[in-house]
Amino acid sequence: MDEKKEREMEELAEEIDIIFSVKDNISQGEINNFLNKFTELSEDDIRKKISEITGDNSYIENSSSGQKDESSTENIDSESRSEVKAEDFPEELDEDKIENVNDDLQLHIDELPEKSENNKVKSIFDDGNIPDVPFVKAEIKYGQLSLEWGWPEGIDKVLLCCRMDRFPESPSDSSASHVIREREEDFETGDYTISKIEEGNYYFCIYAVVEYENKTLYSEGQRRLVVNKVPQEIFYEIDLKRSLLGKLKSAKISLSAPSPKSFPKAEIELPQLVLVSKIGNMPIQKSDGETLFNVDYETLKNDEIIDFDLPTENIRKNMYVKLFFVDDSNSKLYRIVSPAKEKLYFK
């Protein structure tokens, strides 16, 4: 598996966990969203990952049956085409008969009643068959949340509903915020941006809107959960003590993880960490140097500082150290804040 596909698999697993934290199943629409977001993954890849996480094989079985139906349909179409023979078509057509048929057809067209725009809408959409937007994409960047969706054919207006605690129950949910967006020209996608967002979960539901005979009709709604979590910052300091003659007596690393005032926490669970050393230069990644010290899972109270003694026998002159995550995926939930480079140097 290449690196990009492996990364998309990890992100997919996280999004699946998020969805199952608020509901009991994943819909076909949500699978379609995954397909649009994770370009390296097939529907089979996505369904297998859902089945692997949930232990529910029905997600794989549904995919297999769909493929069989499609395959059988293709075979029937192929057989039907193969039965058409050249002798079924006359070599020459009577031009007089063609002209008579065209004249009759034009008379019937002229006799048809004119259709108003309302009749046109009615013939396409009913209250129960308004199409949902085919996909919803979301991105958080520079403190902004951007949504993008595909426009269904014949739909020029959508209603965006959003709550912070759970998905909106309906287009008229009084606890949700509501925004109407209209299609611009013949654009295939629509978009909406929230300029300033808070930490938390954003539960969106996008409803396609149709106006007909003074009534507003809505689709079932396409859901999208967007999680905005500010990474917990982990600070560390290295403290050295030397004798009067300059000999290294002791060394320690101090860890702290204060929570922001806007979102205070009583305790913070720290992931596993590793202090890596390198002679002559600062290690850029874990593999650049050697392991000097490992920090296991720890629980810190807010504003608490925890100290660990470092093995002085492994500390050398002209050595730099830097703290890393043992599991790099923790970088989505935490951020290590390093002190100045000179504070991480052993002379």
State yes or no: pLDDT of 4 exceeds 50: yes
Q: Model confidence at 95, in pLDDT bands (50, 70, 90)? A: low
Distance CA 340, CA 255 (A): 15
Protein fold of 232-346: Immunoglobulin-like (2.60.40)
Q: Which segments of the chain belong to CATH 2.60.40.10?
A: 136-228
The whole model's pTM is what? 0.45
Looking at residue 118, its pLDDT comes to 46
Q: Model confidence at 103, in pLDDT bands (50, 70, 90)? A: low
State yes or no: pLDDT of 21 exceeds 80: no
Distances (CA, A) of 258 to 238, 311, 330, 343: 18, 27, 17, 21
Distance CA 80, CA 225 (A): 45
Protein fold of 136-228: Immunoglobulin-like (2.60.40)
Looking at residue 300, its pLDDT comes to 87
Looking at residue 273, its pLDDT comes to 96
pLDDT tens profile 127-177:
678 999 999 999 888 789 999 999 999 999 999 999 999 999 999 999 999
Mean of pLDDT values over 111-138: 66
Looking at residue 80, its pLDDT comes to 44
Helix (H) or strand (E) holding 171: none
| Residue 344 exposure: Cα atoms within 13 Å on the Cβ side | 23
Both tokens of residue 293?
């010290």
Most distant CA atoms of the chain, gap in Å: 117
pLDDT tens profile 278-325:
999 999 999 999 999 999 998 888 788 999 999 999 999 999 999 999
State yes or no: pLDDT of 78 exceeds 50: no
State yes or no: pLDDT of 22 exceeds 80: no
- If we measure between CA atoms, which residue out of 330, 53, 18, 138 comes closest to residue 45? 53
pLDDT tens profile 23-74:
778 888 888 888 888 888 899 998 988 888 887 888 887 764 444 444 444 4
By the 8 A CB rule, do 190 and 136 touch?
A: no
| Contacts made by residues 235-244, CB under 8 angstroms, sequence distance 24+ | 235/337, 236/323, 236/336, 236/337, 236/338, 236/339, 237/339, 237/343, 238/310, 238/321, 238/339, 238/343, 238/344, 240/346
Residue 260 DSSP one-character state: P
By the 8 A CB rule, do 277 and 319 touch?
A: yes
